[in-house]
């Protein structure tokens, strides 16, 4: 058995590792102590919740705040932390604590888990990942605790602060306010909104970018990766804010009843959270259809590589746009910040995007034949699951057994797909010969 495990390649180990965490989480959530009813919950509901937490998605079939006990909520928080940082990162932490040497095989697995191009400096990066994560979560928990201490007893405020800081930084979207309300009670609260948005952005940028920003003295000396991530992220946030404000400005179910400041704050929050976290301050089901479709696009793009978020990633989106612009201009190369992007990266971006579309479209079509809901709602829920976002139009709690299994699988693929795919595409099998060139009419 040990020999078989040793022969597994890094992607297989990552898949089995995440699957093991999900199954352990499922068993723990099935315990009577994990919920407020004192009865064992259905396997599918526990499995769905554990998968959503481990894959840092946030889609729920049971109300986290009301249905699960403190024990169950702590289990969910631990699953979020393990899923966000990755079980290999946590394993490395244990090894570092006990001063055990990190083997070459473990470094290769970490390379895939953190979506890195090489194993050089990988252990040092893991140390930074852990330090940044703990620091940001602690600061976020402190600020949220202080704010919520005005609304609830200090003990509860501290508990809420820690749980939501973990959920926000790992882009999970779980909340404890009950009735599937998320942060809608604080749509006009600047402290909750600003702190939450800051935590979400830091979690969605990626640990490589955070490390680059902390260690850099001049912005112009940032790596190409960091420049692209920051530029695309900033553009998507601003563009998303403007679009949401324009589309929902007079909608009485969302922004219509808010003052000017509230409209801008809510628009910023939704623009940021839509690509990564899944918490909301306005009613998602109350959005206009055009806005819901726009959110689907943002969810599909997702966060950045090496972060706690999902989607095809901002760098993939940037390369696709760059390729289109180069083709329109008649240029041979895709150039970003005076650097030429290798052709293999362009092919990889195209492959990831196409396979992601196949997953989203395929699951949506299957669910459309099984679930009693509109096509847009099903597409929205599927994209949210694949992008590990967690926003919902209210369909998830009403899913059938097969529907819950499909969405669970979609969350799992969304969390691990890009990692395993990136590893598979990084392998180069050199051909001994080349076929003659053929021409096909395009367009």
Domain that holds residue 362: 2-426
Q: State whether residue 339 is helix, strand or coil.
A: strand
Give 76-88 pLDDT, tens digit per residue: 999 998 888 765 5
Least confident of 11-20, 137-146, 262-271, 429-438: 429-438
**Percentage, residues of the chain above pLDDT 70:** 82
Residue 441, domain member (yes or no) = no
Residue 432, domain member (yes or no) = no
| Highest mean pLDDT, choosing among 94-103, 176-185, 311-320 | 311-320
C-beta separation of 388 from 415 below 8 A: yes
Phi, psi of 410 (to 5 degrees): -65, -40
Q: How many domains does the chain have?
A: 1
Residues paired with 339 in a beta bridge: 336
Mean of the per-residue pLDDT values of the chain: 84
From residue 439, alpha-carbon distances to 347, 350, 436, 442 in Å are: 19, 20, 10, 9
Residue 440, domain member (yes or no) = no
Q: At CB < 8 A and 24+ separation, what contacts does 128-131 make?
A: 128/207, 128/210, 128/211, 128/214, 129/85, 129/89, 129/207, 130/85, 130/89, 130/93
| Highest mean pLDDT, choosing among 117-121, 257-261, 430-434 | 257-261
Q: State whether residue 335 is helix, strand or coil.
A: strand
Residue 425 binned pLDDT confidence (cut-offs 50, 70, 90): very low
Give 197-210 pLDDT, tens digit per residue: 999 998 888 777 88
d(CA 132, CA 135): 5
Average pLDDT (261-265) is: 92
Least confident of 44-48, 163-167, 257-261: 257-261
With a CB cutoff of 8 Å and minimum separation 6, the contacts of 258 are 187, 188, 266
C-beta separation of 341 from 276 below 8 A: no
d(CA 270, CA 199): 14
Residue 321 has a pLDDT of: 94
d(CA 279, CA 443): 41
Residue 142, domain member (yes or no) = yes
Residue 367 has a pLDDT of: 95
Average pLDDT (327-341) is: 88
Residue 421, domain member (yes or no) = yes
Residue 437, domain member (yes or no) = no
Burial of residue 5, with CB atoms counted within 10 A of its CB: 0-12 exposed, 13-18 middle, 19 or more buried: exposed
Does residue 68 carry a pLDDT above 90? yes
Residue the block writes with tokens 């990988």: 122
From residue 429, alpha-carbon distances to 9, 117, 442 in Å are: 17, 17, 28
Residues paired with 330 in a beta bridge: none
Residue 91 has a pLDDT of: 52
Question: The whole model's pTM is what?
Answer: 0.88
Residue 435, domain member (yes or no) = no
With a CB cutoff of 8 Å and minimum separation 6, the contacts of 406 are 363, 366, 367
Does residue 185 carry a pLDDT above 70? yes
Q: How far is CA 401 from the centre of its chain?
A: 24
d(CA 12, CA 5): 9
Residue 443, domain member (yes or no) = no
Structure tokens that stand for 103 in this block? 């083997």
Residue 164 has a pLDDT of: 95
d(CA 79, CA 56): 8
Give 213-225 pLDDT, tens digit per residue: 876 666 667 888 8
């Amino acid at each position: 058995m040990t020999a078989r495990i040793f022969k597994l390649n890094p992607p297989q180990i990552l898949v089995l590792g995440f699957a093991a965490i999900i199954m352990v989480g499922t068993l723990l959530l099935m315990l009577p102590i994990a919920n407020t009813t004192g009865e064992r919950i259905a396997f599918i509901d526990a499995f769905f919740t554990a998968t959503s937490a481990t894959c840092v998605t946030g889609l729920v079939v049971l109300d986290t705040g009301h249905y699960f006990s403190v024990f169950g909520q702590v289990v969910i928080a631990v699953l979020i932390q393990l899923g966000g940082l990755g079980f290999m990162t946590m394993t490395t932490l244990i090894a570092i604590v006990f001063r055990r040497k990190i083997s070459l095989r473990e470094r290769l697995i970490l390379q895939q888990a953190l979506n890195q191009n090489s194993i050089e400096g990988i252990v040092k990066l893991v140390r930074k990942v852990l330090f940044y994560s703990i620091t940001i979560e602690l600061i976020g928990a402190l600020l949220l605790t202080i704010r919520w201490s005005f609304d609830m007893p200090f003990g509860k405020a501290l508990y809420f602060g820690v749980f939501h800081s973990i959920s926000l930084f790992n882009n999970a979207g779980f909340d404890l306010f009950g009735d599937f309300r998320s942060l809608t009670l604080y749509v006009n609260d600047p402290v909750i909104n600003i702190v939450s948005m800051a935590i979400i952005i830091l979690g969605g940028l990626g640990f490589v970018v955070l490390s680059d920003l902390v260690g850099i003295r001049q912005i112009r000396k940032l790596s190409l990766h960091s420049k692209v991530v920051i530029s695309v992220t900033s553009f998507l946030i601003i563009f998303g804010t403007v679009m949401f404000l324009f589309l929902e400005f007079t909608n009485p179910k969302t922004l219509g009843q808010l003052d000017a400041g509230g409209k801008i704050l809510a628009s910023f929050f939704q623009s940021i959270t839509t690509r990564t976290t899944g918490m909301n301050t306005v009613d998602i089901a109350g959005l206009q259809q055009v806005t819901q479709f726009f959110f689907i696009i943002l969810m599909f793009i997702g966060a950045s590589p090496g972060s706690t978020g999902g989607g095809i990633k901002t760098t993939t989106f940037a390369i696709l746009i760059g390729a289109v612009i180069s083709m329109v201009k008649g240029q041979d190369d895709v150039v970003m910040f005076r650097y030429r992007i290798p052709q293999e990266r362009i092919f990889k971006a195209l492959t990831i995007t196409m396979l992601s579309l196949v997953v989203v479209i395929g699951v949506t079509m299957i669910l459309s034949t099984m679930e009693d809901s509109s096509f847009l709602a099903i597409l929205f829920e599927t994209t949210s699951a694949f992008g590990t976002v967690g926003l919902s139009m209210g369909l998830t709690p009403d899913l059938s057994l097969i529907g819950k299994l499909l969405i669970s699988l979609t969350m799992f693929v969304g969390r691990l797909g890009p990692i395993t795919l990136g590893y598979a595409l990084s392998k180069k099998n050199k051909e001994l010969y080349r076929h003659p060139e053929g021409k096909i009419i395009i367009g």
